[in-house]
A = this chain, B = another copy of it.
Amino acid sequence: MSSTEYRVDRRELQFVVNETLAAGKLCELPDFSEFDEEMFTMIINEASTFSEQVLAPLNENGDRQGCRIENGSVVTPDGFANAWKQLGEGGWLSMNLPPEYGGQGLPEVISIIGKETQMAANQGFTIGASLTSGAANLIYTFGSAEQKTNYCEKMFSGTWSGSMCLTEPQAGTAVGDAATTATKEDAGHYLIKGTKQFITNGDHDMADNIIHLLLARTPAAPEGTKGISLFIVPKIRLDGTPNDVKVVSIEHKMGINGSPTCLLSFGDNNDCQGYLLKAENIGMAQMFQLMNEARLLVGLQGLAGAGAAVQNAWAYAKERTQGPSAVHPGEKAVIIEFPDVRRMLMQMKAVTEGLRALMYTTAWYIDMANHGPEESREKYQDLLDLHIPVCKSCGTDQGFEVARIGIQVLGGVGFTQDFPLEQNARDQKIASIYEGTNGIQALDLVGRKFNTKKGQLLDVLVAELSWFDHNSAEGELAGWVAEWETYRTLMLESIACLKKTGEAEGKDGYVLYAVNMLDLMGDVLCCFYLLKQAETAQKKWKSMLDGAASQAELLAENEEAQFYWNKLRTTEFYVWSVLPRALSNAKTIKNANLAPLSACL
């Protein structure tokens, strides 16, 4: 570990993926039969090394140097183009994409390791990579055979990159207000005209071509989201001629400065060709089909930032001396000796590991929903749909909060650019906003997900959360599970409260505290998955303790024992010191105060 560099916690990833989620068992499924657990372990190591050695060293300069426009094109920070090449060649862009066009075809729960470590090492660089994977996946899912042949392999390998062109200056959250037009030409293609804003990697110098996936309206399209179509708009056409796409400017931002955020103008000279993806007016549905993966990735940005922050703060707390030591009289104290510092580190660690448990399980749900036994696919899809807004919103809000605490652990130097914490916080801040603001996630949860299929998603969740009813917890774990169960009840009571408020006060009353509902559910879910991890850790810890002379000796000598011990302590801390914040959300939901609606704002 280092207080200034990024080091992956390989042991934790190994534990989460192989020991608790039993990713190896996925290999019994036909789609993953070519893999085995040993390969997953190898991937953890290789992904970690790539992120640490190739991406992390470029992170600080990426922020300081940033991007600029030169002669009408975006120039990215030194080293980014070379790293992009390695990213593509190493297969890191296509871990979860189909082998048919050169993808690795790995389960999401393994692919996510690459994404987390890359994001943790260098958020500004990695965000564009995620969008390339997403855009390529859209073409793979909805493209014609010819479109797939033309674009997929080149994008899977990073030879070409991708961008998602949704937002316009007047159409942010309200994507349906997009005014960019697409007019069909006799030749079969469409002429695109319009302006797109906040386009990540909308232009850059890292790949040979940029394939924009763009939302636009055809002339006769219905109003709103029902009249949106999705187009492939390459920067350079397949015949090698430049398309009529211009980068107008790039944003000056709080963070992710290594990532160019572009204002793009399409069709200034009436010569921007776009190629329809599948059919007109289904653009929103197409976007939604890959929304789960996209939103999980943004949630992961928060988790990744949190993970890096924990590593840096922990390392710093072990090296920084200050004042006299109470533990070693006569010596200087290392600040990790101080209770308040330890509390902050535990808070960071518990929240981060809770988020990781949540998100890796959600990735596993994606695998089970898409590749698992047919009869259980709907169940996992339901769980997935319910978990996604929680992953996105809790991941990004709590990830930022963890970085904030990390700055606090470092003290004065945390506020300086000599340590990576302040950049970490700045880079993360966008994630609560894009890919649907966290407010939108909460509306999605309580508005759509709670009510779809007559509430079936919640029923499936309740069944899933009864796991400890059938797998009895032992020893100290029993007390933690019992305590958690009171919060599970509170969550269900809060859902009922919310519905009651909705009945009495209408839609505005129902959604007013949707964010509190989401946060409450997030804490209950994170704690549940941590408890399941603790169940595994407890067994391993017990068997090690049985063979040891004493607990103290075991902990002093054995890093494996320390890992399991700490997993138990982290879970315990989550139950007794993190979970109580659910009380605050539950009470607020119950109080259902309507002042925000009646104030003269």
Contacts and interface: CB of A to CB of B under 8 A. Distances in A.
Contact of A253 (B417, B429, B511): B417
Nearest to A598: B569
A25 to B, nearest CB: 30
Nearest to A442: B340
Q: Which residue, of A198, A408, A515, A562, has the highest number of chain B Cβ atoms within 10 A?
A: A408
A412 interface: yes
B580 A584 contact: yes
22 contacts: A171-B322, A172-B322, A173-B323, A251-B416, A251-B418, A253-B422, A254-B415, A254-B425, A317-B601, A336-B601, A339-B508, A340-B512, A343-B596, A407-B429, A408-B438, A422-B429, A425-B429, A513-B577, A566-B600, A573-B595, A575-B593, A577-B593
Contacts of A587: 580, 583
Contacts of A412: 167, 172, 197-198, 430, 433-434
Given A340-B442, A570-B595, A601 B314 contact: yes
A485 interface: no
A188 to B, nearest CB: 34
Nearest to A581: B584
A588 B583 CA distance: 11
Contacts of A583: 580, 583-584, 587
A569 B595 CA distance: 5
A572 B597 CA distance: 12
A599 interface: yes
Interface string A177-205: 10000000000000000000110000000
B414 A174 contact: no
A502 to B, nearest CB: 12
A588 B576 contact: yes
Contact of A581 (B417, B439, B581): B581
A329 interface: no
A448 interface: no
